[in-house]
Copies of this chain bind each other. A is one copy, B any other.
Amino acid sequence: MPLVRIELHPGRTAQQKTDCARAVVEAIVKHLGTTPAATQVIFVDVDKADWLTGDKIPPATPGG
């Protein structure tokens, strides 16, 4: 512990994810009083088409 899961849109490079994970681990170690070895970060890509916000969903098409 802690276990960090970051869901995001696809398109980031492995380098971006690594840099992000490093900074996230630093933030967690600093503020939650744990160690890097105990901190895991998992990235989960979610396609834009699979992630909808209620007020941005187009209205139903007639007969749809």
Contact = CB atoms under 8 A, between A and B. Distances in A.
B8 A32 contact: yes
Contact of A35 (B2, B30, B42, B54): B54
Q: How many copies does the complex hold?
A: 6
Interface of A: 1-9, 12, 14-46, 49-55, 57-60, 64
14 contacts: A3-B7, A4-B5, A4-B6, A5-B6, A8-B32, A18-B57, A20-B27, A20-B31, A22-B60, A23-B27, A35-B55, A41-B54, A42-B52, A43-B50
A30 B12 CA distance: 13
A40 B44 contact: no
Nearest to A19: B31
